[in-house]
A = this chain, B = another copy of it.
């Protein structure tokens, strides 16, 4: 395993290792000969070697298990590994859908990680101090389901394996944390998982720094991840790994499943960079295990070495054969994402000497894995005792940590939020947001976050804290750099680490375009991240169309399970934060203004909770002549237009529609009380796309908005030129009533 080779020989050596004698009876296949036709690239990186260092993990009740790192029963291990392989093969075959290749190739790693290395309690998948595992290459989820099954998790029974990818099953086509206890985060879209893992490792490092005491390391776990070639190619992976290196996340250990195959064929057609060198540049410790197929001891030694490096995350490049064991498909892209087919399944059974019927777990294998249930219970019990000790000595810290672990919000936290009156000075909602953030920082122990290099524009610094950095991980201001996508996914990881961690992250609203993949996964996976999005319209002015959001409000209103909030002033901003903090399984996006806005009469935190509400009304009997509807910075325009129209003798209702999703979930009677069906004269005004407003203003109403890209000029001028004005609203209203 130790080597001084270079990238240029990696493919060649990988092929050698594939065709070298092993217990798996994999034949050297014609494909391999074809592969050598690819040009090999020079990559003068230094040798990545595994020195025989001893791990220095603190002793635990798993000492026996850890001992197997040196002396596992190879036959039993191979039988366990083949059990994992065939559970994956059989489930994919039964579903006639799925990805057998990765589980077959990574089964040895999976076995070692789950059976020998990781600390968890199968009967309590949410035990706080468990090691976290993320399958960033989420398509290989049958690997994870097989491991959860063997380890004794209730969420993956034999029946679940047999209903892989079927309606209502707990074993969906990609890992989903909300379907399957034991799955930490939802993966599948490539690169997200490794970024989530960075977030999980950040959370551990932060909490350990805050709460651990010399006599009691109450927070202490590793984060493991498996990346495929796709995760390596995705930019989000590089963003997150650059931060992991910067932060020195020593307890993050990532395995790169280097199988040379992606969907379109050999990775040589699109991916010839030297990954080791890139990761060294990113500040990681890098180890290459050349024989990931059968090199059990090499894998064990690499993990030991990784644990011994405490100031850097480690990438273990593991060269494997995709679909290992399949005599006619291993090492080809045909085994990536399709069932093997019954003939090839039979051939694979023969090849690997596996006489059992589908889904069979041999008794010796099951017996061996059965130790995880008592071991896991003991681990948790030991930790509980440790926490009791901790609580006795460090009462205040224990109370905070308990909040973070349980997700309970401290009593009365909401009182910290500022309140405003119409006499309060005009202010930008980004500034009001800063007031809220700083107020919450004082009362929410799990509140932390930051910006993608726009802290001074987004106004997201918590003034009472310093920066979370390599040497100051106890601090809570996170500096993400210009890495929006990584920021979003890292925040998802933080949120899913512990129920009481409440991460926020910030950039300009338009740059949600860079992080939409991560924001959608917040919504899918129920991660209650708070997305603080400032500069939310043409109101940002001179930076121009590339920086001015237009379609963004609409695009998020269309997204399920997310709250799009656009507060208009101080009380609405505070209300938006209240909603965001309370919604722990539904992320919130706060769209905030760059420009100053007045505090309007009639706005309220309570109104925000209902999503839409009346801020002023002089009509009688729920029959206004006209209803004016605005959001955010344009609520002021609606209010002023209302004043004008009232002067002209109309009865006017002005409605703030701060969150469509919240309004939509109100009882019909409430909705009718705000927007009565009979009142069809409605004008909306919002400095964004009118798309979607048709349903609000109705067939006879008028939506004033912007259905073109913005422009570079002072904000006031753009508002005027684009017709987002009091005059336009008054004119439209008069045409309707």
Contact = CB atoms under 8 A, between A and B. Distances in A.
Given A173-B544, A271-B481, A513-B516, A454 B283 contact: no
A403 interface: no
A243 interface: yes
Interface string A710-733: 011110011001000000000000
Contacts of A698: 699
A456 interface: yes
A544 B188 contact: yes
B543 A708 contact: no
Nearest to A175: B546
Given A165-B713, A277-B277, A514-B189, A554 B550 contact: no
A246 B272 contact: yes
A284 B712 CA distance: 36
Nearest to A708: B560
Max chain B C-beta neighbours (<10 A), residue from A169, A270, A694: A270
B691 A694 contact: no
A264 interface: yes
Nearest to A190: B482
A653 to B, nearest CB: 18
A449 interface: no
B456 A547 contact: no
A69 interface: no
A646 B689 CA distance: 38
Contact of A514 (B234, B279, B456, B479): B234
Max chain B C-beta neighbours (<10 A), residue from A277, A546, A698, A711: A546
A149 interface: no
Given A167-B717, A174-B546, A246 B271 contact: yes
Nearest to A700: B699
Interface in A504-547: 510-511, 513-514, 516-517, 520-521, 523-524, 541-547
A417 interface: no
B691 A264 contact: no
A588 interface: no
Contact of A173 (B43, B457, B469, B547): B547
Interface in A417-449: none
A97 interface: yes
B186 A546 contact: yes
A274 interface: yes
A221 interface: no
A237 B267 CA distance: 20
A230 interface: yes
A569 interface: no
Contacts of A246: 270-273
A281 B270 contact: no
Contacts of A239: 233-235, 238
A190 B559 CA distance: 25
Given A274-B281, A542-B165, A712-B172, A517 B521 contact: no
A138 interface: yes
A235 B233 contact: no
A707 interface: yes
Interface of A: 39, 41, 43-46, 95, 97-98, 138, 165-169, 172-174, 176, 186-191, 229-230, 233-239, 242-243, 245-246, 262-264, 267, 269-283, 333, 451, 453-457, 467, 469-471, 479-486, 510-511, 513-514, 516-517, 520-521, 523-524, 541-547, 550-551, 554-555, 557-561, 689, 691-696, 698-699, 707-709, 711-714, 717-718, 721
Given A166-B712, A274-B282, 5 more contacts: A172-B711, A233-B239, A233-B453, A270-B481, A523-B709
Please name the 10 residue pairs, one residue from A and one from B, whose CB atoms are nearest each other, closest first: A235-B235, A694-B695, A277-B281, A270-B481, A172-B712, A555-B555, A558-B691, A167-B713, A278-B281, A551-B558
27 contacts: A43-B281, A45-B281, A166-B714, A167-B713, A169-B713, A172-B544, A172-B711, A173-B712, A174-B544, A174-B547, A188-B543, A189-B547, A191-B482, A233-B242, A234-B483, A235-B238, A263-B454, A269-B467, A270-B481, A274-B281, A277-B277, A279-B281, A513-B516, A516-B516, A555-B555, A560-B709, A694-B696
